[in-house]
Protein backbone atom coordinates (compact mmCIF):
# COMPACT_ATOMS: atom_id res chain seq x y z
CA UNK A 1 0.00 0.00 0.00
CA UNK A 2 2.00 2.97 -1.31
CA UNK A 3 -0.52 5.68 -0.32
CA UNK A 4 -0.05 8.79 -2.47
CA UNK A 5 2.83 8.87 -4.93
CA UNK A 6 4.02 11.71 -7.15
CA UNK A 7 6.25 11.82 -10.19
CA UNK A 8 8.68 13.36 -10.87
CA UNK A 9 10.37 14.33 -7.58
CA UNK A 10 12.39 17.15 -9.14
CA UNK A 11 12.18 19.06 -12.39
CA UNK A 12 13.80 22.12 -13.92
CA UNK A 13 11.95 23.87 -16.76
CA UNK A 14 12.74 26.83 -18.92
CA UNK A 15 10.16 29.62 -19.17
CA UNK A 16 7.47 28.69 -21.69
CA UNK A 17 7.98 24.93 -21.51
CA UNK A 18 5.17 22.63 -20.53
CA UNK A 19 5.00 19.63 -18.24
CA UNK A 20 2.62 17.32 -16.43
CA UNK A 21 2.87 16.23 -12.82
CA UNK A 22 1.36 12.86 -12.03
CA UNK A 23 -0.31 11.89 -8.77
CA UNK A 24 -1.51 8.38 -7.99
CA UNK A 25 -3.27 6.99 -4.92
CA UNK A 26 -4.11 3.40 -4.05
CA UNK A 27 -6.53 4.07 -1.19
CA UNK A 28 -9.65 4.20 -3.38
CA UNK A 29 -10.20 7.82 -2.32
CA UNK A 30 -12.85 9.88 -4.09
CA UNK A 31 -11.28 13.28 -3.54
CA UNK A 32 -7.90 14.47 -4.76
CA UNK A 33 -6.15 17.81 -4.48
CA UNK A 34 -3.17 19.72 -5.81
CA UNK A 35 -1.39 22.26 -3.57
CA UNK A 36 1.63 24.44 -3.96
CA UNK A 37 3.85 25.41 -1.06
CA UNK A 38 5.98 28.53 -1.07
CA UNK A 39 8.07 29.97 1.77
CA UNK A 40 5.91 32.01 4.10
CA UNK A 41 2.72 31.19 2.17
CA UNK A 42 1.77 27.84 3.62
CA UNK A 43 -0.18 25.37 1.49
CA UNK A 44 -2.41 26.84 -1.20
CA UNK A 45 -4.98 24.82 -3.09
CA UNK A 46 -4.60 24.92 -6.88
CA UNK A 47 -7.30 22.53 -8.12
CA UNK A 48 -9.24 19.64 -6.69
CA UNK A 49 -11.50 16.80 -7.76
CA UNK A 50 -14.45 15.24 -5.98
CA UNK A 51 -14.59 12.21 -8.22
CA UNK A 52 -13.50 10.64 -11.48
CA UNK A 53 -14.17 12.95 -14.38
CA UNK A 54 -14.67 16.06 -12.19
CA UNK A 55 -12.34 18.97 -11.44
CA UNK A 56 -12.75 22.34 -9.76
CA UNK A 57 -10.66 25.45 -9.13
CA UNK A 58 -9.01 26.16 -5.83
CA UNK A 59 -7.43 29.36 -4.53
CA UNK A 60 -4.66 29.76 -7.11
CA UNK A 61 -5.71 27.99 -10.34
CA UNK A 62 -4.30 30.40 -12.94
CA UNK A 63 -1.65 28.89 -15.19
CA UNK A 64 -2.57 25.30 -14.30
CA UNK A 65 -4.92 22.68 -15.69
CA UNK A 66 -5.92 19.32 -14.26
CA UNK A 67 -7.53 16.09 -15.33
CA UNK A 68 -9.00 13.14 -13.45
CA UNK A 69 -9.66 10.50 -16.10
CA UNK A 70 -9.18 7.63 -13.66
CA UNK A 71 -10.18 7.59 -10.00
CA UNK A 72 -6.67 6.79 -8.84
CA UNK A 73 -4.85 9.44 -10.87
CA UNK A 74 -4.88 13.24 -10.80
CA UNK A 75 -2.72 15.12 -13.29
CA UNK A 76 -1.53 18.71 -12.97
CA UNK A 77 -0.44 20.45 -16.15
CA UNK A 78 1.56 23.59 -16.75
CA UNK A 79 1.04 24.68 -20.36
CA UNK A 80 3.58 27.51 -20.41
CA UNK A 81 5.74 27.57 -17.31
CA UNK A 82 6.63 30.88 -15.65
CA UNK A 83 9.25 31.64 -12.97
CA UNK A 84 6.37 32.42 -10.57
CA UNK A 85 5.46 28.74 -10.73
CA UNK A 86 8.70 27.74 -9.08
CA UNK A 87 7.44 25.93 -6.01
CA UNK A 88 6.97 22.61 -4.29
CA UNK A 89 3.80 20.85 -5.44
CA UNK A 90 1.91 18.41 -3.26
CA UNK A 91 -0.88 16.07 -4.17
CA UNK A 92 -3.31 14.81 -1.54
CA UNK A 93 -6.34 12.57 -1.36
CA UNK A 94 -9.22 11.97 1.03
CA UNK A 95 -12.11 9.55 1.23
CA UNK A 96 -14.73 12.29 1.37
CA UNK A 97 -17.00 10.23 3.62
CA UNK A 98 -18.57 11.85 6.68
CA UNK A 99 -16.56 9.65 9.04
CA UNK A 100 -12.96 10.80 8.81
CA UNK A 101 -13.45 12.00 5.28
CA UNK A 102 -11.72 15.31 5.82
CA UNK A 103 -8.39 13.68 6.59
CA UNK A 104 -6.13 14.33 3.65
CA UNK A 105 -3.10 12.19 2.91
CA UNK A 106 -0.21 13.82 1.11
CA UNK A 107 2.36 12.67 -1.40
CA UNK A 108 6.09 13.37 -1.03
CA UNK A 109 6.04 16.43 -3.30
CA UNK A 110 7.55 17.60 -6.58
CA UNK A 111 10.13 20.35 -6.47
CA UNK A 112 9.81 22.46 -9.63
CA UNK A 113 12.17 25.21 -10.69
CA UNK A 114 11.37 27.42 -13.67
CA UNK A 115 14.30 29.44 -15.02
How far apart are CB 29 and another protein at their closest, in Å? 12
- Ramachandran class of 75: left when φ > 0, alpha when ψ lies in -120 to 50, beta otherwise: beta
How far is the C-alpha of 65 from the C-alpha of 62, rounded, in Å?
8
Is residue 31 involved in binding another protein (CB under 8 A)?
Answer: yes
CA distance 35 to 16: 21
Tell me how far apart the alpha carbons of residues 104 and 27 are, in angstroms, rounded to a whole number: 11
Instruction: Give the Å distances, CA to CA, from 38 to 11, 88, 89.
Output: 16, 7, 9
Minimum distance of another protein from residue 54's CB (angstroms): 9
Quick note: the x/- pattern for another protein over 49-68, rule CB under 8 A, is: -x-----x-x----------
- Segment lying near another protein (by CB under 8 A), choices 17-25, 67-75, 77-85, 102-110: 102-110
**Closer to another protein at the Cβ: 1 or 14?**
1
Using CB under 8 A as the criterion, which residues of the chain lie in contact with another protein when the complex forms?
4, 31, 33, 40, 42-43, 45, 48, 50, 56, 58, 90, 92, 96, 98, 100-109
Amino acid sequence: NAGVTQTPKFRVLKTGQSMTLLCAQDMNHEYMYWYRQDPGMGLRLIHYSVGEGTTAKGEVPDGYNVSRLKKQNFLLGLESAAPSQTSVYFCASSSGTLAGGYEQYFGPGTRLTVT
